[in-house]
Amino acid sequence: VTPLSQEDELIAWLRRRLARAPGGDLAGDDAALLPARPASAAWAATVDSQIAGVHAPPGLDPAVLARRLLAVNLSDLAAVGAAPAYALAALAAPPGYDRRRFLGALVAACARAGVTLAGGDLVRAEVPAATLTLFGSRPAGGAWLRRSAARAGHRLWLGGTVGESAAGRHLLARGARLAGRRVDLPAAPPLAGSLAAAARRAVRRHLAPAPQLALGRALGRLAARRRGGVGGVIDVSDGLALDLARLCRASGVGAEVEVERLPAAPRFHGLAAAIDRDPLELALGGGEDYVLLFTLDPRLAPPAEFRCRRIGAVTAGRRLTMIDRRGRRPLPVVGWDHLDPAGGE
């Protein structure tokens, strides 16, 4: 089996190790499901880090970093259908870092999300790095969603647009800045009118992603009512193609993606051209979209309010295929490899 990325290779190695350890388990969903007795009291738990210079531009406002840290963790809970409940925060930062601004923003964002900040760890480090552990409970009337439940014949759905966040990352690398609620764009490339508006939205989308918790809960209710009807669910964090490959591998299936169905933000193609990027590469491999990718029995559809888009189908076999005007070809498994020294793109 070819590893999808250095990260996946390491996780596969770890899973083999764990299989030999007594009690070992690493199911590989976006959040771990911690069993309890009775099972109704089980928790979903997830951990994610944001490191300055890696996940966020150096010098980013600590409040923006805090909200982004919570958002990416909430997205993992959304992918298992959990309702967020508790957080533990670990903040490592150099002297002079505005920890109060970080923690104040985290507390406020937690309160808005119904999360209780229950503990944490504060340490010194050269580079600001924040790690959040988030616990979610299973909502009444809901079922846990798993990455491994995709079945051949299911339809493949996407909860929102892809590629916009990566366009925002490129703009930040070129000098875009968030100043309060205002986004200052770099001088190059020159952007005006609706393209400048699209660029500002892309930067905001990258720095302040909106996790799809309500969609996750709706899928959890659907899964509880129609056993087997809701298939694999994953949040698109490392790139649509890579996360689809993970979902398919966990479920033992393949998939076909109809490229022209991929939802894009308004003026996305024009923006991609302006920053000299292939829009399809951004959509398939850009990552950090934080939308849910999921499969459903063809007789089911997600609630219309979420405006999900059907982008393809789950197939027997293990192949990943993309379909466009030119025909069918293998889907390149591109995405963000957290362990690739070159940056993963």
Min. distance of Cβ 289 from a copy of itself in angstroms? 18
What's the closest the beta carbon of residue 38 comes to a copy of itself, in angstroms? 7
Give the ranges where 125-212 is alpha helix by DSSP (H): 164-173, 193-207
Closer CB to a copy of itself, 107 or 152, in the complex: 107
CB of 84 to a copy of itself, least distance (A): 11
Distance between CA atoms of 244 and 233, rounded to whole angstroms? 9
Between 9 and 297, name the residue whose CB sits nearer to a copy of itself: 9
Give 100 or 307: the residue with its C-beta nearer to a copy of itself: 100
Taking the C-alpha atoms of residue 102 and residue 2, their distance in angstroms, rounded to an integer, is 40
Output 47 or 323, the one with its CB closest to a copy of itself: 47
Nearer to a copy of itself by Cβ, of 9 and 256: the residue is 9
Q: What are phi and psi of 167, to 5 degrees?
A: -60, -40
Rounded least distance, CB 148 to a copy of itself, Å:
14
Shortest distance in whole angstroms from residue 223 CB to a copy of itself = 21
Compute φ and ψ for 210, nearest 5 degrees: -110, 100
Q: Distance (Å, rounded) from C-alpha 212 to C-alpha 81?
A: 10
Residues binding a copy of itself (CB under 8 A): 7, 10-11, 13-14, 17-18, 21-27, 31-32, 34, 36-38, 41, 43, 45-49, 51, 53-55, 85-86, 88-90, 92, 95, 99-100, 103-104, 107-108, 110-111, 114-127, 129, 131, 133, 135, 137, 338-339, 341
Q: What's the CA gap between 206 and 193, in Å, rounded?
A: 20
The DSSP-derived string for 61-117 is -HHHHHHHHHHHHHHHHHHHTPEEEEEEEEEEE-TT--HHHHHHHHHHHHHHTT-EE
